[in-house]
Chain A
Amino acid sequence: MNNEKIIEQLKTMLEPTQINTNSEDLYDASADRYKKYAKARNVLDVPAPLAIVYPYTPEQVRDLLVFCNTNLINVIPRAGKTATEGGLENWKEQTLVIDALHLDSIINIDTYNMQATVQAGVPLQVLEDALRKEGFTTGHSPQSKPVAKLGGLVATRSIGQFSTLYGAIEDMVVGLECVFPDGHISKIKNVPRRSGGPDIRHIAIGNEGTLCYITEVTVKMFKIYPENNKFYGYLIKDVDTGIKILREVMANGFRPSVARTYSEEDAAQHFYHFHKNKCVLLFMAEGPKGIVKATGEAIEQAVEKFKDGIIEQVDSKHIENWFNNLNWSQQDIDDEFEGMKEHDSHSGFTTEISADWSTITKIYYNVMKRVKEEYPRFHDLTMLGGHSSHSYINGTNMYFVYNYDIHCAPEDEMRVYHHPMQRIIVEETLRLGGSMCHHHGIGKFRNEWTKQEHGSAYYMLEKLKEAFDPNGIMNFGTIFPQEEGKKYQ
């Protein structure tokens, strides 16, 4: 089917206002924040989608998917547009972006059963604001909260800044509704727990639009006690000290909502007002008074145990103020975009990995060493550091952060600067048994390592793709490696 015919067919299925073929919007839809610099400089090398469509109902999503499946048209599901790993980038000449713009209803906020049901296109901030009025929170607070939408957050297996207490999105999702390419609509019911076979929520959670389109989610809600919040901050000697203290707190059974360790380089760019060129350790304790008190005492005991690595305590007001201004808004994104048009730089890149407690610092130091020895553009790096920001009983994550001056054509930036850095981080992580993708998803630019990430369990992932998307129309190139897409990598 040719492009004109596809648009004609869409017009028989949707209202004209539901079909967007504006060239600027299509250019914007051809890549996400992964190629933000090339996008800002108008040098994207990927094809634009044919149209962005905005269904009103799950049934319209079904009709669109069946149409695409029948005619082998690539589909990119989209809700929020804050993806950072190329998950929304288009690699096919014939692609429809199905955007959850009009799937925007809060269906039910059930304060007794502590769960809220929303459509995929509801912004997280809107749900959070609605819950706050009732004294509750989603507990989910990624930096993208003001912009991100629930469908996208679930599809990419998102995590928030308070995850150490509330968990990541997979811990919050109670049930959901999703549509498969063959038109089947599955609704996974909302129950506290069950043993009805494998947990099928996880087929949809984190599928990154490669298996199904999520149309509705039900998430847990939590009582919030902002008046009890307590903050702790310390300047510390090194990353090891910070990781040891994080482990001590977690292993002793406590769950601060925030538990972070920053390398001195990363601390310098976050905490300009107090870092003194040292590493930073910080915590936030929240919840009912008794829990906050106990958590605070546990933090202080852990700090005391490793006091040889503590340089000084920081005024907790600094930590509180910093948290209150951490999220980026649409304005921040737009400002960065405008800045990139003029300047040969951007606000930096990250690659996030995870590993158990005994491995995480090995990865960190190996990466630092290899970058210094092997990274061909080391002399252009303006910053290289990292922080651990999400901890678990058995380990933590590491968020490698790097900025650089760009001395190459905008279209070459990723392969000259980001990819060699990403490769070192991913190789070291996988070599030592960690995960190369803690919370940004695999997207399209870590797919060459998907098989290595999953090892013998890749068999299960591959079978899911074969079963649910046998024609391969769902988000071509995301998660699953594709030979045809290599030219865009």
Chain B
Amino acid sequence: MNIICLVKFVPDITGFGYDYEASSMVRNHTRMVLNPDDVCALSFAFKVKERHPDSQIQVVSMGPTTVVPHMHDLLRIPVDKGTLISDPLFAGSDTYATSEVLGSYLKTQSFDCILSGSRSLDGATSQVPPQIAEILSLDHMLDISEIDVEKISPTEAVFSVEGERETTTWSMQLPGVLSLGRSSTCKLPYPSYADLQRDVSDKLTILTNKELGLDPSHVGLEGSLTKVVNTYDANSRRRAKTVVETNEEGIEFVFSYLKDRGFV
């Protein structure tokens, strides 16, 4: 099979701080990680490759060139081909403009299936995968919990989607866009020690707008249909602080607190 994985490198939110006085994120020590949903998409691509070794996996990402070391790591796993779409013109693109950029590249590629995560850690709008499917005139499904690796073929995929009350099984004609949800069981293969030392730069293509040829007014901030008004940390609301001692009373307080909120 010929698989394209759309991946995004996102800020590791565990490294975020929040400046209450300035009401802004502190990102000084933030590093980039592969979006957890996308790990599941890529992980599934490797399962397919394990069953069908002649499969080809191409990873496509849009972002700054600072993610090149991360792309190299994926190529060492090894992903067969990497494409990074990076141009200062694209900075500030909303999901619509991002989909336009990615879609314009994907139109030039042949593939049986596009895999992606369902949502990104830093935005969580889930808009890019369906918009790309729309641009490519393909079917799309979001929040897939599992794709049947034994039944996937260049023409069909069978997969499960977990709803609140039930899990439904679907089949889709391929090519199509399949977006997986996050699961803690998804893991990528380890690169070998020898592969870690390997120069894989020849497997990574970095594309700018020079190659894509998009109208500058259709990308970046200018081409975006939506604007970010404010950014905030969903977990940063300042709460009243209660300090307890490490004694029976303190333990009881913490236990009751957690119990009242259904955590235990």
B-contacting residues of A (Cβ < 8 Å)? 265, 268, 277, 324-325, 344, 378-379, 381-383, 405, 407-409, 412, 415-416
Query: How far, in Å, is A346 (CB) from chain B's closest CB?
Result: 16
Contact yes or no, B70 A379, CB < 8 A:
yes
Question: Is B73 at the interface (CB under 8 A from chain A)?
Answer: yes
Contact assessment for A408 and B15 in the assembled complex, using a CB-CB cutoff below 8 Å: no
Closest residue of chain B to A408, judged by CB? B190
Query: Nearest residue in A to B195 (C-beta to C-beta)?
Result: A408
Question: B246 in the interface, Cβ–Cβ < 8 Å?
Answer: yes
Interchain CB contact (< 8 A) of B17 among A277, A325, A379? A277
Q: Please name all residues of chain A whose beta carbon is closer than 8 Å to the beta carbon of B32 when the two chains form the complex.
A: 379
Could you give, for residues 15-47 of chain B, a 1 whenever the CB lies within 8 Å of some chain A CB and a 0 otherwise?
A: 101010000001011011100000000000000
Contacts known (A379-B69, A381-B31); A409 close to B12, Cβ less than 8 A: no
A412 close to B17 (CB less than 8 A)? no
Contact sample, A vs B, 17 pairs, CB 8 Å cutoff: A268-B17, A268-B29, A277-B26, A277-B28, A324-B246, A344-B187, A379-B69, A379-B70, A382-B31, A383-B29, A407-B190, A407-B191, A409-B190, A409-B192, A412-B192, A412-B196, A415-B193
* Cβ of B153 to closest chain A Cβ, rounded Å: 31
Q: Report A-chain residues with C-beta under 8 Å of the C-beta of B28.
A: 277
Query: Are A382 and B15 interface neighbours, CB within 8 A?
Result: yes
Question: Per DSSP, are chain A's interface residues mostly helix, strand or loop, or mixed?
Answer: mixed
Number of interface residues of B (CB under 8 A): 22
A379-B31, A379-B32 known; A325+B246 contact, CB < 8 A: yes
Bitwise, B187-215 to A at CB < 8 A (1) or not (0) is 11011110010000000000000000000
- Across the interface, B193 reaches (CB within 8 A) one of A325, A378, A412, namely A412
A410 (CB) vs chain B CBs: closest residue: B190
- Of B12, B19, B70, B193, which one neighbours A416 at CB under 8 angstroms? B193
Q: Which residues of B contact A (CB under 8 A)?
A: 12, 14-15, 17, 19, 26, 28-29, 31-33, 69-70, 73, 187-188, 190-193, 196, 246
B59 to chain A, nearest CB (A): 15
B69 contacts across to A, CB distance below 8 A: 378-379
Residue among A379, A383, A408, A415 making CB contact with B191, cutoff 8 Å: A408
The residue of chain A having its C-beta at the shortest distance from the C-beta of B34 within the complex is: A407
State how many angstroms separate the Cβ of A357 from the closest Cβ of chain B: 28
List 4 A-B pairs, minimum CB-CB distance, nearest first. A412-B193, A409-B190, A379-B69, A277-B17
Using A277-B28, A407-B73 as known contacts, say yes or no to A382 and B12 having CB atoms under 8 A apart.
yes
Q: Tell me the bound Cα distance from A415 to B192 in angstroms.
A: 12
Q: Complex: how many Å from CA A415 to CA B246?
A: 40
A411, closest chain B residue (CB): B193
Query: Closest approach, in angstroms, between the C-beta of A389 and any C-beta of chain B?
Result: 22
Contact in complex: B196, A408 (CB < 8 Å): yes
Provide the residues of chain B in CB contact with A344, threshold 8 Å: 187
